């Protein structure tokens, strides 16, 4: 089956339409030159290749060169009871699939939110049909329905030491992945755009739209912080090679408090 991919966000579609509804939403954008559709085969013919590198023991970054869509990096979390592919790319090739499988069986493919769906069904098909876990609250954004898709809500553990949960915010079903063995056993949080590690590597952001700079309210930022404080974690991984390398739990709390203070107008005297 030929997979149709949006040329802007790289999310798979069952068939091309007039426009990608994910990009037409206020959280994304449609290019000025208009909608473009492509396929993984066309991307490969243009020279796109999968890249794989270890970020730390048990965590593998799966990317594309040149980058595809909005440029996310997928993260493969490995455990003794199976692996989880987080924020699947909008591209795959034989080498990339083989590299992922060399690390063991993939038991779930899951995106933090619809912008990160990528070619999630295609990844599942090539990896032996593990379930593609889609937040029930965001199910309507799926553009390629398939029997491998399973909806979830609340909290879920697809593999030992891995817990998925949904603090929401960026999307109602926006999720995070807690990896208990990450950061040398201190715990790591994989956040997609739910919590965005900033370039200073010591703070994070909370936005409804990152490209269009639409903020979330202070109350929602505080809610997200309170949600993830149930977990022990020292490191935070975003989906664009952005990382808070240490003291991540405190960074989330500090950042949420700062966000809320600015949203309330506490610092208007500085403007």
Q: pLDDT 10s digit of each residue in the chain, 271 long? A: 679 999 999 999 998 889 999 999 999 999 999 999 999 999 999 999 999 999 999 999 999 999 999 999 999 999 999 999 999 999 999 999 999 999 999 999 999 999 999 999 999 999 999 999 999 999 999 999 999 999 999 999 999 999 999 999 999 999 999 999 999 999 999 999 999 999 999 999 999 999 999 999 999 999 999 999 999 999 999 999 999 999 999 999 999 999 999 999 999 999 9
3-state secondary structure of 140: helix
Instruction: Answer yes or no: are the C-beta atoms of 113 and 192 closer than 8 Å.
Output: yes
Question: At what angle are helices 248-264 and 218-228 packed, to 10 degrees?
Answer: 160
Element (H, E) at 205: strand 204-205
Residue-range domains of the chain with CATH: 4-266 (3.60.15.10)
Cis ω before 66 (30° cut-off from 0): yes
Q: Is the pTM of this model over 0.75?
A: yes
């Amino acid at each position: 089956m030929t997979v149709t991919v949006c040329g802007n966000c790289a999310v798979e579609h069952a068939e091309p339409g007039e426009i990608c509804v994910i990009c037409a939403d206020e959280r994304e954008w449609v290019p000025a030159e208009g909608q473009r559709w492509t396929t993984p085969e066309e991307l490969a013919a243009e020279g796109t290749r999968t890249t794989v590198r270890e970020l730390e023991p048990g965590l593998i970054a799966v990317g594309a060169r040149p980058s595809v869509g909005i440029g996310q990096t997928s993260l493969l979390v490995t455990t003794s009871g199976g692996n989880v592919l987080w924020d699947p790319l909008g591209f795959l090739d034989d080498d990339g699939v083989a590299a992922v499988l060399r690390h063991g069986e993939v038991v779930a493919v899951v995106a933090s939110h619809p912008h990160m769906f990528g070619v999630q069904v295609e990844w599942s098909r090539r990896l032996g049909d593990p379930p593609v876990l889609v937040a029930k609250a965001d199910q309507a954004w799926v553009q390629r329905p398939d029997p491998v898709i399973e909806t979830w809500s609340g909290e879920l553990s697809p593999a030992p030491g891995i817990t998925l949960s949904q603090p929401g915010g960026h999307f109602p079903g926006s999720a995070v992945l807690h990896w208990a063995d990450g950061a040398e056993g201190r715990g790591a949080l994989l956040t997609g755009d739910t919590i965005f590690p900033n370039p200073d590597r010591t703070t994070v952001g909370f936005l409804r739209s990152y490209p269009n700079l639409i903020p979330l309210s202070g109350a929602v930022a505080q809610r997200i912080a309170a949600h993830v404080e149930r977990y022990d974690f020292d490191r935070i991984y975003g989906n664009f090679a952005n990382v808070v390398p240490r003291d991540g739990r405190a960074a989330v709390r500090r950042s949420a408090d700062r966000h809320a203070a600015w949203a309330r107008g506490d610092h208007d005297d500085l403007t």
